[in-house]
Structure 1
Amino acid sequence: MKYLKRIIKIISALLLTLTIVVIVFLIVDVYNTAYLKIKNNPSLHETSYLITNINIVPMSKDTILAHKTIWVKNGIIENIADSIQVEGIEIIDGENKFLSPGLIDMHTHLWDKQELGLYLANSVTTIRNLWGYPMHLRIKKALNDENIIGPLLYTSGPKLTGEKDLGDDKVQVSTPEDSKRLVISYKKRGFDFIKTYAGLPENIENAILEQSILSNISIVSHPSREIPYLDQFQPQISSIEHVEEIVQQALEYKLDSLKLDTIIQKFVSTQKSFCPTLTGYYKIFEMLELGEDVLTSDPAYYVNPLMQKFDSKVQYDRWANEKENNSSIKTDIYAQHQFHLYIIKRMNEAGVNIICGTDAGIGITAPGYSIHQELAFYKEAGLSNYDVLKTATINPTKTHKELEQIGSIEKGKLANFILTSKNPLEDLSVLNNPEWVMVKGRKIDKILLNELTENALDRNNLVVTGLRYAEYLFIEK
């Protein structure tokens, strides 16, 4: 009995110590992200302005509205005119520069609050997170309650897959009844979408589709390899992800332009949005081409430290090993990437609603920075600057009702803007370096944008990220 009491005391002491250590790490993380708090930053309090002497890139049509004034009232565009007079309101001189809608990245994986700043510094004012867990609901609440500054955040729930599709990053579902229960739960908890994944059997997917109608929640689909590709264009699905799945699943690894016609026609006839994530796939080629230095080079060094250690390195080692055993792998990956560009060109010509997504946050795909590479690929594929910019502004608003208030500069829309020195319809590269950014009427100047970037570099939050991931495993798995 004496020994049992001693063991209980030791275990209790260890648990207490562990609890204290966890609390300390969480407190340090709160301190390290205090720069995002709105109440600590007086420059972020205003949500009403007159912005004068501005050239507007509205994105509702291919034009420039020259020498205009915008009245932003409580974060909403109240009016746009040649001249507006409002008493007692701050006036921002646009200096004859160009105002565009903030960019939208429709396929991200958010790992920490520091990444919110990286997105803003790279002109991204809205992100769609597609691997949700409890942390994302807390961040979403903090943003919606206007406690912290960041892009608008919409998040799916955890990724739903079949019981044979192993991996702790996914929730394995064994029965249709379980899948319906999860859809109901995710909706109730506040997730915006359902994310279906590659190992989902048809009976489970059908149950999710059925429950999504009853629960009034849309689905984002990573196409299941258990179901024929062309059978996955159901009305409840808002977008289909990943261009490589067209090649690897629908075309069975053949770069077949004739068979591609059928797939493109399916997108057209069902009016389904397509999120290519070209950048995420191209990073494989970069790893093969550039070697191990790619893991610590800029901008890959802005990937979350836990991901750098346990995902970036794992992916690099996998492809480095493949390169040793397959001399043609680099050529094959690059050839598939070039075919991806061809797919984008063909889809754009056919009128498919292409939405910009990058797979940011995993591998070596850096949050924020990745959107510029993605847009450059669309340009390389042959899209005009206007069509390229549509993929990251107006096109995403056609996928979910939650996004209807953004994506263009029109009366009644949210004041999510980026100011650039030049016209992005002539030079897309100006999006890399905004003069300032506005989210729901809060102006973030260049000084603060630089601070947001600096605070995301060398961030020491590996342990905290691990704790939040452990929470995900405990609650969701």
Structure 2
Amino acid sequence: MAFATLPRLLLAAFLWWVSASSGLGQQFTPQVAAFIKVQGPVVIALTDAKVIDGTGRPALLHQTVLLEGSRIVQVGAAKKVKVPAGAQVINCTGKTLIPGLVMLHEHLYYTMPVAGYFNIAQMPYSFPRLYLAGGATTIRTAGSIEPQTDLAIQRLIGEGKLIGPDMDVTAPYMEEPALDIPALNTIHGPEEAAAATTFWANKGCHSFKMYMHATRADLAAVLREAHARQLKVTGHLCAITYREAAELGIDNLEHGFMASSDFAPGKVADVADYPAARQGLLQLPVASPAMKSLISLLVAKKVALTSTLPVFEPYTNREVVLGGGLEALIPQLQERETTTWQQNQQKDTASARLFKKEMAWEKQFYAAGGLLVAGTDPTGAGRTIAGYSNWRELELLVEAGFTAVEAIKISTLNGAKYLGREKEIGSIEAGKQADLVLIDGDPEQNINQVRKMTIVFKKGVGFDSVKLFESMKGKVGLN
């Protein structure tokens, strides 16, 4: 380290000490504090808001929500809630409060091909910021390429040194050698899978993800080690069918039914054939008895299903980057994504048909009593970007036929239930952690109003959503 940098480091350390000694509750570096719009120690009163509380109950008008420290201390009709003297009052007339989003298929990486091969690169700075800006106060990284980085980011966010959501970190992918993806972790058989599970559980990972070529024996080994530690296992499957995974005891399945190989013609056990799996889904009727049977099994086995509609959204007559985030990309990537979008116009009819089916199957699963949770999967072709995709998942759930109240519950309390944290997060209720989002509009009247988030409260600290988005324009693709 150059000695010339030492004065700056000492100054930064001094400023951190001042911040830590200020008595304002949670501690932040000056770089983080610059994006904080609202913070105690006084009570924060959000008055006269419409509240969609995340429980699925009907929205309530003219509500006041009191925050003290990191907690919600009172929620009720504005006429009945007494605002304490000295409270910081935020008038929310014409605005809506929803819980902080709990998104369960997120990544801290972005699609960056290498020499013609599909590849992914870590975005340790931009993506955590964008997730929080887009209302996600808790995320699960459903598959890591740099788990040591994800764990470090989790720590740095917790220490107030970086901006981002609370993170449930998933271990590296459990995948047998097959795909030429440079960043992808691979295991060789169930013994390695078990050893990897133990290693990363000891490092602090709470979730594990099976990938497309993993076998039933691999899954059984991971489940044995993870469940012994009360940790959970999910999967983006192909070699293993959903039915097989459910019978073995998997906790969660990713991408709705889009990764199901149960209906592939001539399915061979423990063999991944993605084209055949896709063909089986394309040929399957929306009201198929076979799908109904699978849904019944998943519900009976209490297997959660993660909706990741943004990553499958067709190109034709839709946005280049979902949620309106084209300007977040560096110029070269803006050009790449625009060119790809133009080339795919009117050429994705099969994808559009399957997309509509997936929406219908998610509705069927939900109606049958299944735990449907939400995620965005910012990877794929590169159109899905953290933060902006949070908004788009909510919009697409409504497009699928869910009400705004249901879409918000799926994206908040349902995710909290899956993580086992529903007593702490996921809804706007007295006693819970003060994770909530202020929207300058009414998403129940128009779900696109979710794009008008102004303040994202995480543990009672209000971050400036607009300022965070602005700060990351032209940055995605760098870090």
What band does the TM-score fall into relative to the shorter chain?
A: 0.7 to 0.9
Correspondent of 2:433 among 414, 421, 433? 414
Identify if the C-alpha distance between structure 1 residues 296 and 153 changes in structure 2 by more than 3 Å, giving closer, same or farther: closer
Aligned to 2:82: 84
- Does 1:352 pair with 2:370? yes
State the alpha-carbon separation in 2 of the partners of residues 297 and 420 from structure 1: 15
- Does 1:255 pair with 2:249? no
Q: Secondary structure at the match of 2:208?
A: strand
- 2:398 and 2:447 in contact (8 A); partners too: no
- 1:213 and 1:236 in contact (8 A); partners too: no
- How far has the Cα of 1:210 moved from its partner? 0.5
Correspondent of 2:469 among 443, 450, 453? 453
Correspondent of 1:231 among 239, 244, 250? 244
Aligned to 2:413: 394
Aligned to 2:113: none
Q: Tell me the amino acid that sits aligned with residue 97 of structure 1.
A: K
Q: Secondary structure at the match of 1:125?
A: strand
- Does 1:299 pair with 2:325? yes
- 2:59 and 2:405 in contact (8 A); partners too: no
State the alpha-carbon separation in 2 of the partners of residues 174 and 394 from structure 1: 37
Aligned to 1:152: 166
- Does 1:101 pair with 2:99? yes
Q: Secondary structure at the match of 2:416?
A: helix
Identify if the C-alpha distance between structure 1 residues 452 and 421 changes in structure 2 by more than 3 Å, giving closer, same or farther: closer
- 1:47 and 1:440 in contact (8 A); partners too: no
List per-residue Cα deviations over 1:266-323 (Å, max 9, x = no partner): 22212221112121012xx31xx479x94899524535789x499x77x959x96xx7
- How far has the Cα of 1:178 moved from its partner? 1.8
Aligned to 2:308: 277
Correspondent of 2:67 among 55, 72, 97? 72
Q: Tell me the amino acid that sits aligned with residue 261 of structure 1.
A: K
- Does 1:267 pair with 2:298? yes
- 1:114 and 1:455 in contact (8 A); partners too: no
Aligned to 2:31: 37
- Does 1:245 pair with 2:274? no
State the alpha-carbon separation in 2 of the partners of residues 36 and 341 from structure 1: 44
State the alpha-carbon separation in 2 of the partners of residues 295 and 428 from structure 1: 18
- 2:216 and 2:245 in contact (8 A); partners too: no
State the alpha-carbon separation in 1 of the partners of residues 414 and 105 from structure 2: 14
Identify if the C-alpha distance between structure 1 residues 105 and 52 changes in structure 2 by more than 3 Å, giving closer, same or farther: closer
- How far has the Cα of 1:436 moved from its partner? 1.9
- How far has the Cα of 1:44 moved from its partner? 5.7
State the alpha-carbon separation in 2 of the partners of residues 197 and 204 from structure 1: 10
- Does 1:342 pair with 2:360? yes
- How far has the Cα of 1:77 moved from its partner? 1.4
- How far has the Cα of 1:232 moved from its partner? 0.7
Aligned to 2:43: 49
Which structure is higher in helix share?
A: 1
Q: Tell me the amino acid that sits aligned with residue 83 of structure 1.
A: V
- 2:37 and 2:455 in contact (8 A); partners too: no
Question: Which blocks of at least 5 consecutive residues in structure 2 are unaligned?
Answer: 13-27, 109-122, 265-279
State the alpha-carbon separation in 1 of the partners of residues 249 and 38 from structure 2: 38
State the alpha-carbon separation in 2 of the partners of residues 76 and 302 from structure 1: 33
Correspondent of 1:177 among 191, 197, 202? 191
- How far has the Cα of 1:376 moved from its partner? 2.3
State the alpha-carbon separation in 2 of the partners of residues 273 and 138 from structure 1: 28
What are the equivalent positions in structure 2 for 1:310-389 lying under 5 Å apart? Answer: 316=340, 330-362=348-380, 363-389=382-408
Q: Tell me the amino acid that sits aligned with residue 365 of structure 2.
A: M
Identify if the C-alpha distance between structure 1 residues 414 and 228 changes in structure 2 by more than 3 Å, giving closer, same or farther: same
Aligned to 1:439: 458
- How far has the Cα of 1:416 moved from its partner? 0.8
What are the equivalent positions in structure 2 for 1:153-232 lying under 5 Å apart? Answer: 153-223=167-237, 225-232=238-245
Q: Tell me the amino acid that sits aligned with residue 95 of structure 2.
A: K
- Does 1:125 pair with 2:115? no
| Matched length | 418
Q: Tell me the amino acid that sits aligned with residue 262 of structure 1.
A: S
List per-residue Cα deviations over 1:344-367 (Å, max 9, x = no partner): 232232222211111124521121
Q: What RMSD, in angstroms, separates the aligned Cα atoms of the two structures?
A: 3.6
State the alpha-carbon separation in 2 of the partners of residues 248 and 328 from structure 1: 27
